[in-house]
Amino acid sequence: MTALLEKIRAKQITLGIAGLGYVGLPLAVEFARAGIRVIGLDPDARKVAAINGGHSYIPDVPDEAIAELVRQGCLRASTDYAALAECDAVSICVPTPLNKTRDPDMSYVIDAANQVVAHCHTDFLIVLESTTYPGTTEEILQPKLQAAGWQIGQDVFLAFSPERIDPGNNVYGVRNTPKVVGGATEACAAVATALYGLAVDHVVPVSSLRTAELVKLLENTFRAVNIGLVNEMALMCAKLNVDVWEVIDAASTKPYGFMKFTPGPGIGGHCIPIDPLYLSWKLKSLNYTARFIELADSINSRMPEYVVGLVTEALNEDGRALNGANVLVLGVAYKKDIDDLRESPALDVIVELLAHRAHVTYHDPWVPRVASHGLDLQSQPLTAASLQAADCVVITTDHSSFDWDLVGAHARLVVDTRNALRGRPGAARVVRL
């Protein structure tokens, strides 16, 4: 441990980062900015070529940052895990999706773990950052390292540090977001804490691997449950003929004991729709039902269907059927001002609209093409003519660049799931969530 700690404190290490997506690439850039030599590893040759060519494929990371770090020799990328022979540590940032049965798909973690163990060496730190169920690091990585003959906490060091990346957040990034770290042993925690201290302002050590794993799950379960609560409040307010947005704004004036959440067409992104289900899945194996998680998932998952119901009712009031109607969807990214489609509820809305035989087009300046969920659509220009041609406009993502005055002036009917048109003048009839 002493030798590796000395190298870390002297900034004389090379860090490998396995997985160069929304988590791995910003982490690689922050460590490289701190003067650490970083080797990014990813099986996608296009990502590797982009980075080595000085280009970024993630909006939060500008091309100039990549190009300068590559020029300085602080950052390079490879598809070959053999590059770990040059590294003193590796951070695993691979995807952890759900499979078709909504159980954890650990294949990416297992593949990365196998590669890391195959190229492991003495005085080497392995950190898992991928969000997963409590016990993953102990149950997958630790046995593989021990089976290969490594003494954890002596020969090699093992830790978990949950990623805290918020795409599109211009205030909090890798550097100024506190970093939680849990180690397999005290020595592992000390080494991992020292590593992240090079690139993060505040590192928060916790007592164990499972504690660190649960921290991330609590964070996102908190959000999922509260979004589920406010989505159900929207459904209840509709029954009571009360404006849910007014209720939320008024409740938000309380200076204590209340945190504002807003309803929407569902929840999206890699974290909030998925992470709580990892915890729920793990607890089922212990004969325990995570009732809050299950209920929140049920409510949030049904919101796209509810939105389509609003469209159907609104068209009926105009003497139109959804079957054959022209519907223009505004925004398909899962939240505003990013290009991320992962688990986006807008896609579920589109699929549901098509199932009712509506003619659907969409506009999203951040997402020029949708080729998932069985869809293959191109973003269409947002013009007075396209708005007038739509029997109904559905606002699913409230990008800052949208011309809401244009929408209000030229759309005939709008179903607004984001309260984007509130207080704006216009001729459109607006049905709000």
Q: Do domains 2-207 and 275-432 have the same CATH topology?
A: yes
The pair phi, psi for residue 330, each rounded to 5°, is -100, 110
* ∠ Cα 98 100 105 (to 5°): 35
CATH 3.40.50.720 fits 275-432, yes or no: yes
Is 352 strand, coil or helix?
helix
pLDDT tens, position by position, 289-344: 999 999 999 999 999 999 999 999 999 999 999 999 999 999 999 999 999 999 99
Q: What are the E-state strand segments in 9-128?
A: 14-18, 37-41, 75-78, 89-92, 124-128
Q: Work out whether strand 326-330 and strand 359-363 pair parallel, antiparallel, or are unpaired.
A: parallel
Residue pair 303/228 in contact by the 8 Å Cβ criterion? no
Active site residues: 271
- Which residues in the chain come in under a pLDDT of 50? none
d(CA 196, CA 360): 47
d(CA 273, CA 301): 9
> Domain 2-207 is of which CATH architecture?
3-Layer(aba) Sandwich (3.40)
Is 337 strand, coil or helix?
coil
Which residue(s) pair with 369 in the sheet?
A: 378
d(CA 52, CA 46): 10
Distances (CA, A) of 406 to 109, 220, 263, 326, 361: 47, 36, 24, 18, 17
Residue pair 3/123 in contact by the 8 Å Cβ criterion? yes
Sheet order of strands, 429-432 included: 359-363, 326-330, 392-395, 413-416, 429-432
* Token pair listed for 190: 């000390």
d(CA 391, CA 425): 19
Distances (CA, A) of 348 to 273, 296, 363, 379, 390: 13, 17, 16, 16, 19
Which residues make Cβ contacts (< 8 Å) with residue 277, sequence separation at least 6? 98, 102, 104, 293, 297
Is 338 strand, coil or helix?
coil
Is 210 strand, coil or helix?
helix
Place of tokens 């164990």: 208
* Token pair listed for 310: 């609003």
Distances (CA, A) of 207 to 118, 177, 188, 330: 28, 20, 11, 46
Q: Which long-range contacts (CB under 8 A, 24 or more apart) does 138-145 make?
A: 138/184, 138/209, 138/210, 140/106, 140/109, 140/110, 140/113, 141/113, 141/116, 142/184, 144/113, 144/114, 144/117, 145/117, 145/120
The pair phi, psi for residue 308, each rounded to 5°, is -65, -35
d(CA 400, CA 305): 25
Which residues make Cβ contacts (< 8 Å) with residue 237, sequence separation at least 6? 243, 244, 247
pLDDT at 1 (0 to 100): 63
- What's the alpha-carbon Rg for the chain, to the nearest Å? 24
* Token pair listed for 35: 């003067």
Q: Where are the alpha helices (DSSP H) in 34-128?
A: 45-52, 63-72, 107-118
Helix 24-33 vs helix 63-72: angle between axes, to the nearest 10 degrees?
50
Q: Where are the alpha helices (DSSP H) in 265-375?
A: 275-284, 291-317, 345-355
Every domain of the chain and the residues it spans: 2-207, 275-432
